[in-house]
């Protein structure tokens, strides 16, 4: 799709009529996935990546592909890899849930200023990784260096741009060719997670409620039971394609896999001892980011055995 366009940050995939997924490339400035939807006379961008270099490419390809300017930008949740590119779209309507807006407003200003004031610290860390790379020649370390270098490049001109429109439960975005439903069922992965569903095409953008072929990240704020319940409800929709926050595009089957993953982890966390090292179950063996698995078990143990 669109061979003339190539970004260092993401791979563009057409996944339905007027629907495009922007899948993050390892080592780029995107970190998480994003995408855009052409409604016929209006264009929605879903999430804005981790750096403005990546979001600038997203805006460019969205406007070139649809032949119109972006109408709406959605922030699925407050985490940086989904909102740090907002400044690319500061003249656009940026929509999020009320909760997501509050978290971006309250948490990110101090984070941004701390990072801007410690570019030297980041530089030193990148250098330490380069030293490690010389010893090991590990591709993963190279990707990490590349991604952090993109972050470093973004910091001097990075500015926080907040959503300027909020919603509580659901809003319908209407176009001449198709509609999109922007909705939230509350928090699971984050304090509040929003999804974008295009019913005619049976496509859903799920942010970090869905990870495909990689271990989902449980944060302190994550609620595994609510997360699972949200996925069960979403699984009742007609879905052919699901765009995750991380990993390649998936299907309804991948939603079931995360429900299963959460259920398995809760059981293991309840039944295992505090510092016991648990081998990754066979069904999740090939998923990327295996180190996340032990962190998730540890976090769930803290919740089940405080």
Of 242, 196, 250, the residue nearest 45 (C-alpha) = 196
Least confident window among 102-106, 178-182, 289-293: 289-293
pLDDT > 80? residue 1: no
Q: Does the residue 27 lie in any domain?
A: yes
Mean pLDDT of 117-145: 95
**Is the same domain home to 182 and 59?**
yes
Whether the Cβ atoms of residue 258 and residue 189 lie closer than 8 Å to each other = no
pLDDT > 60? residue 2: no
**Is the same domain home to 97 and 44?**
yes
Q: Does the residue 202 lie in any domain?
A: yes
Of 178, 189, 196, the residue nearest 243 (C-alpha) = 196
Strands 241-243 and 203-205: parallel
Mean pLDDT of 231-251: 98
The span from the CA of 215 to the CA of 280, in Å, is: 11
CATH number of the domain that residue 97 is part of: 3.60.15.10
Strands 170-174 and 72-74: unpaired
pLDDT at 301: 86
pLDDT in tens, 139-190: 999 999 999 999 999 999 999 999 999 999 999 999 999 999 999 999 999 9
Q: Does the residue 299 lie in any domain?
A: no
**Is the same domain home to 149 and 173?**
no
Q: Does the residue 285 lie in any domain?
A: no
pTM here is: 0.96
**pLDDT: which is higher, 240 or 306:** 240
Indicate the SS3 state at residue 226: helix
pLDDT at 273: 76
Task: Quickly list DSSP for 124-177.
Answer: HHHHHHHHHHHHH--HHHHHHHHHHHHHHHHGGG------SEEESSEEEEE-SS
pLDDT at 285: 92
Q: How many domains does the chain have?
A: 2
Q: Does the residue 296 lie in any domain?
A: no
Confidence of residue 276 (pLDDT cuts 50, 70, 90): confident
Mean pLDDT of 179-208: 98
| Domain interval for residue 151 | 119-157
pLDDT at 274: 72
Q: Does the residue 282 lie in any domain?
A: no
């Amino acid at each position: 799709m669109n061979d003339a366009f190539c970004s260092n940050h993401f791979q563009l995939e057409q996944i339905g009529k007027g629907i495009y997924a922007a899948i993050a490339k390892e080592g780029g400035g995107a970190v998480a996935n994003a995408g855009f939807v052409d409604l016929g006379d209006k264009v929605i961008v879903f999430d804005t990546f981790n750096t403005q270099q990546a979001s600038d490419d997203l805006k460019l390809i969205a406007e070139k592909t649809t032949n119109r300017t972006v109408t709406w930008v959605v922030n699925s949740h407050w985490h940086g890899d989904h909102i740090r590119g907002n400044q690319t779209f500061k003249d656009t309507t940026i929509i999020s849930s009320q909760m997501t807006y509050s978290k971006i407003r309250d948490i990110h200003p101090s984070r941004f200023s701390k990072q801007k004031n410690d570019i030297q610290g980041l530089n030193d860390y990148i250098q330490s990784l380069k030293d490690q790379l010389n010893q090991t020649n590990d591709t993963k370390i190279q990707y990490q260096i590349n991604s952090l270098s993109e972050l470093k490049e973004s910091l001097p001109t990075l500015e926080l741009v907040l959503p300027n429109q909020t919603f509580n439960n659901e809003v319908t975005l209407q176009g001449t060719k198709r509609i999109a439903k922007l909705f939230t069922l509350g928090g699971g992965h984050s304090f509040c997670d929003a999804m974008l569903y295009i019913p005619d095409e049976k496509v859903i953008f799920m942010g970090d409620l869905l990870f495909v072929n990689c271990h989902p990240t449980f944060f302190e704020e994550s609620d595994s039971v609510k997360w699972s319940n949200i996925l069960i409800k979403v699984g009742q929709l007609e879905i052919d394609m699901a765009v995750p926050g991380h990993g390649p595009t998936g299907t309804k089957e991948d939603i079931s896999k995360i429900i299963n993953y959460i259920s398995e982890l809760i059981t293991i966390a309840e039944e295992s001892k505090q510092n016991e090292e648990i081998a990754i179950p066979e069904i999740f063996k090939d998923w990327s980011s295996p180190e996340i698995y032990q962190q998730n078990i540890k976090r769930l143990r803290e919740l089940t055995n405080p």
